[in-house]
Amino acid sequence: MGSLPSRADYTPMSDHMSILQEVTEESSPQATVLRTEAIFNQTSPVIGSFSSRGPNTIAVDILKPDITAPGVDILAAYSPVGELSDQDTRHVDYTVLSGTSMSCPHVAGVAAYVKSFYPKWSPSMIQSAIMTTGKQKLYPFSFAYGSGHVNPIAALDPGLVYELGKEDHIAFLCSLNYTSDTLKIISGETVSCSKENKPLQKNLNYPSMSARLSGSDNSFTVSFNRTVTNVGTPNSTYTSKVVAGHGSKLTIMVTPSVLSFKTVNEKQSFKVTVTGSDLSSKLPSSANLIWSDGRHNVRSPIVVYIVYMGSLPSRVDYTPMSDHMSILQEVTGESSNRLVRSYKRSFNGFAARLTTSELKRVAEMKGVVSVFPNKKLRLQTTVSWDFMGLKQGRSTKRNLNVESDTIIGVLDSGITPESQSFSDKGFGPPPKKWKGVCSGGQNFTCNNKLIGARDYTREGARDTDGHGTHTASTAAGNAVSDTSFFGIGNGTVRGGVPASRIAAYKVCNLVRCSSEALLSAFDDAIADGVDLITISIGDIGASKFVEDPIAIGAFHAMTKGILTVTAAGNSGPDDSTVSAVAPWMLTVAASTTNRGFVTQVVLGNGKTFTGKSVNPFDMKEKMYPLVYGKSALLSSVCNAEYAEFCEPQCLKESLVKGKVLVCGSRDNVGTVGSVGAIAIIYKSSIPDVASVDPLPASGLSEKDYESLVSYIESTDSPQATVVRTEAIFNRTSPVIGSFSSRGPNTIAVDILKPDITAPGLEILAAYSPVGELSDHDTRHVKYSVLSGTSMSCPHAAGVAAYVKSFYPKWSPSMIKSAIMTTAWPVNATGTGIASTEFAYGSGHVDPIAALDPGLVYELGKEDHIAFLCGLNYTSDILKVISGETVTCSEENKILQRNLNYPSMSAARSDNSSFTVTFNRTVTNVGTPNSTYTSKVVAGHGSKLTIVVTPSVLSFKTVNEKQSFMVTVTGSGLSSELPSSANLIWSDGRHKVRSPIVVYTISY
C-alpha cells in the first residue's frame, strides 16, 4: 500500500482490517486498482519512514544525519536496460524511485549551487551554509532530520559559517583513539596525538552540537566550544538566542552572547554551556541556538508577522519606534533583532519575526488591531487613451499647472529612470509639497518628472521585471512618438496625465511582493505627499479589512485625502474572486480597447484560423510541416497526454525539428525550441488575450484548435505557417477580459465590486530593458505589450489624476463617484455571472464625462467608521484604527447597503419575496438652480420593482446636498444570475447613473 499517509487521523491497522473484513464477508468480493494520480502534499516535507535515524554509533557526539532533502517519489533519468521491478519487462528512460539515494544528489546539487557562487569556499563552509540555513523540521526529532530541510536560496547567504580543515579532522580522529602511526598513513604527514591536540568530539567545530550522556547522569553540565567566520557584511553584530525544542527542559548559556565583526572573514569564538537533569531514555532533549544580525538567522524557525496598530496616536510624547521595540522586548525578550519594519509616518504598526506563541501574546495586547502573516502578493498604449476620449494635443481640455503639481505614487516592481517616458524635459522643479526622497540605489537618478524613489526589497528601485515601468508609464508617462513592439502597434505611447510627477515605491522583486514592504510603502507615500496611489498588486482572494495590507494602507491614505486605485485581480471568470473589496478604494476590472492584436495561422489547404499572440516574427508565408505533440511522443519516457502538452522531455526531437509544433496548451512555449520546433500553435486557455512568445506562435480557441488537429490527422503531409501579428479594429469593445476577477464581494456582501472597468488587454507601454519578455526569451525592449488588471488599474488612476487636476480640493470619494456615475454602460457578453455588474461594476471609465458629473456621492472617514461598526468591529478596535473615540451605538451603526456609495447592491439569503431599501445623499457639483429627475432602466435577471422617493431633487446652490430613498421589491431571484437595474438622475445635461444589483448569497 506504499508509503504511510501523512494524515493525522489515518490508522493503518484499521484500514487493513476494513479491507480484510470486506473480502471475507462478501460472497463475491470485487475491487479495482485506479491509475496513479499526483496529489498536492500539504504536510510536506515529512521524513520518509525508511530514512535511517541517528544517533551516531561511531562518533556519538556528532549529530547525524546532517540535513534532509527530497527523496520520496522522485522522477529522474534511468537506464533503458535496467529492470523496473521484479519480473518487469518494461523499459524506460525515466522512472520514479525513493530512498536516501534520491535525497543525496538533491543536496549535492544544492552544494554545487552554493559553490558556483563561492568557488573558493572549503567543503566545511559549504556544509555549514547548508546546515545552518535549513528549514527546521518538527517531526519526529533531530535524529531523523539533523539541522532541517535543505534551503538552497537561504544557503547562498548564511551570514556566519563554522569552518573545519584537515588538521581539525585529524585532531578529531586523535580523540577517537586512532594512533599517530595510523593517522600518519591516512594524512601523509607526521601526527602526534598528544593531550593538547586531542579535543573532545563535541568540541569539533561542527554546525550542530550533540552530546551523549551515560545512563547514570541524572544532572549534567556539558559545554561546546565553537568558532564562527563572518561571510556576511562588515561591521555586523550578531546576538544569540536559544529556542526550546523537545524533551526535558535544558538551561543553556552562551558566552559571549553577542559577537561583533568589523570585517568579512573575521573569526569569533564562543562557548555554549548546557545544564539539565532527568533526560528521557526514549526522546532526546533539544534546542536551537540562533545567531542573528537582523538579516541573517543562523538556524531560525521564526516567521515574519505584521502587527497593525491603527492610526498614529496624537500625543506629543508618543514615539512609534520606541513603542514597537517595547512590545517586542516584553514579548520576546529582545527587540532590534526581531523588528523588520516600523510603520511610523502615516499609521502605526510594525513587522517582526515572531513565533506562533509570541504572535498570540502580541495580538492580545492593548492597542493592537490585528496580527497577520507577511504574505506573498502577486503583480496583477498607444490607443487606449484615445479610445476613452482623452486625446493628445489641444483637442483635450487640460489644467496643466495643477496637473504638473499632481504626484502619483506607484507601488510596484520599481521603475526604469532612463526611459523616455520619464524624461524631465520641459519640467520645472518638484512641487513644494513633496517631502519624499530619491533613494533608488546605485546608478539610479531621479529628475523633475520622476521626483522620488524608495526601495523595500534591498535590490534598489530599478525595475528588473518590467511591470512597474509599464504601469507607471500608463498612468503618467510622457508622450513618446514612433513607438512599437518590433513594429507592432506603432504610434505614440503616453500616460493619462503626462504632465504629472511620479514617485516610485519598489515593493516587488522577481520573487515576490511582500505585505510588510507594501505597508512600508503606503506609510512613506502618504507622508511624502503623493496625491494619488496606484497599486497593481493583490492576493488571490479577499481578506478581512484589518488583515489586508492594501485595505489598511488605503484607509489611512483616504483619511489624508489620497485616493488609492487598485487592480481587481486576474482570477476570472470565476465568481467571488475579486480581491480588492474595501469601499474606500477604487477597484478596477480589465476590458478591451478598439484595437486588438491577431495572429493568423494558414494551413496547407488554404484554410485560415485567426488566433491571438504578439508575434513579430516573419515566416515570409513559407509553409512548414505540422506535427502534433501527441504524435511526436517519446514513448519510453512519457504518456501521450504529456506529449500533447509538449513537455520537451516527452517529445522526440527528430520528429519535431524544423516543424510547426501543435500543443494542447501554452505552458511549454518557452522550451519547445530546445527540441527544434520552428514555431508553435497552441490551444489557448484565455483566447481573448494576445501574449508575447519567444518564437512564432499563435493561440487558438478550443473550436479552432480541434479543427486544426482534425486537419493534421486527416492529411498525409499537413503544413502551416504562422503569419506576423497585425492590429485590427475591435468593433465590439469594450469587452471584459476573461481573466478579470469577478464579484460578488465576499467580505462586505452589500458593496458592489469591482467598481469600474478600464483598458487592460494588449496595452503597449514602457518596459524595463533588462526584463524578460517571456519564458526563455532572450530579446530585450524598451516598450512591450502586457494584459491584466495591472494594466487597467493605472488607466483608472490616470483618469482620477486627470479629474483631480481640475478639482484639487475634491475628496477621494468625490473623484471616485464622478468616475463611477459617468461610466459607459457595458453590454453584457458571455453568460451567467461573468456577464453582469459583478464583472464591470458601474461600467467603463469615461475621463471626459467624469470632469462634469453633476452630482456626487460623498463619503468621509466617519462614514467608513460607521460602516465598519455595521460589520461588528468593536468601538475599541475602531478607536485604534481611526485615532478617535468611537461609539458603535445603534444610531451610528449603518447597514452596509446604506453606505453612501455610488452603486447599490444587496445580498439575499434565498429567492423568496423581498423588499430592500437604500438611503443615499447626493451633492450638487454642477450648476445652481438645477432640478434632477429620476429614471429607472431595467437590467437583467428577474424583474425588480423600484420606487425612488422623492423622484425629483431640486438644488438652489452648488455643494447643496439632497437625500433620497430607493425601495426595491421582487421575488424569484435566480441562483445563477443577479437581478439588476440602473437609477439615472438627469437634469437634461447630466446623467448620473448608479447600478442596482440584488442577488442570492449562494454565489
Q: Cell numbers of 928, please?
A: 445652481
968 φψ region: left (φ > 0), alpha (ψ -120 to 50), beta (else)? beta
DSSP string, 931-994: EEEEEEEE-SSS--EEEEESSEEEESSTT-EEEEEEEEEE----SSS-EEEEEEEESSS-EEEE
CA distance 458 to 513: 13
Q: Residue holding cell 468601538?
A: 875
Q: Which of 61, 66, 386, 412 is catalytic?
A: 412
Degrees, nearest 5: CA angle 54-56-62: 110
The verdict on whether 618 is a catalytic residue reads no
Helices 861-870 and 549-559, axial angle in degrees (round to 10): 140
946 φψ region: left (φ > 0), alpha (ψ -120 to 50), beta (else)? beta
Q: Residue holding cell 535549513?
A: 134
Element (H, E) at 474: helix 467-476
How many CA atoms, within 13 angstroms, populate the side-chain half-sphere of residue 398?
22
Q: DSSP code of 430?
A: P
Burial class (CB in 10 A: 0-12, 13-18, 19+), 172: buried
- 945 forms beta bridges with 969
Answer yes or no: are the C-beta atoms of 387 and 594 closer than 8 Å: yes
Which stretches within 625-691 are classed as H helix? 640-644, 653-656
Element (H, E) at 309: none
Answer yes or no: are the C-beta atoms of 839 and 1003 closer than 8 Å: no
Q: Cell numbers of 344, please?
A: 511610523
CA distance 469 to 419: 9
Cα Rg for the chain, rounded, in angstroms?
A: 33
Question: In terms of C-beta distances under 8 Å and separation of at least 24 residues, what long-range contacts does 331-336 make, across chains too?
Answer: 331/358, 331/361, 331/362, 331/365, 332/358, 333/241, 334/239, 334/241, 336/239, 336/294
How many helical (H) and strand (E) elements, i.e. helices and strands, does the chain have?
23, 45
Q: Which residues contact 905 (CB under 8 A, 6 or more apart)?
A: 744, 745, 750, 751, 752, 897, 995, 996, 997, 998, 999
* Number of CB atoms found within 10 A of residue 863's CB: 20
Answer yes or no: are the C-beta atoms of 308 and 371 closer than 8 Å: yes
The verdict on whether 790 is a catalytic residue reads yes
The verdict on whether 412 is a catalytic residue reads yes
Answer yes or no: are the C-beta atoms of 874 and 836 closer than 8 Å: no
Whether cis (ω within 30° of 0) applies to the bond prior to 625 is no
Strand order in the sheet with 930-938: 904-908, 991-1000, 979-986, 930-938, 952-955
CA distance 309 to 787: 36
Q: Single out the residue of 192, 232, 184, 225 nearest to residue 206, CA to CA.
A: 225
Q: Cell numbers of 661, please?
A: 509544433
CA distance 911 to 1001: 10
Q: Which of 292, 684, 790, 813 is catalytic?
A: 790
Element (H, E) at 325: helix 320-332
| DSSP strands (E only) in 568-655 | 585-591, 595-603, 608-611, 624-628
CA distance 919 to 584: 18
Catalytic annotation, residues: 412, 467, 790
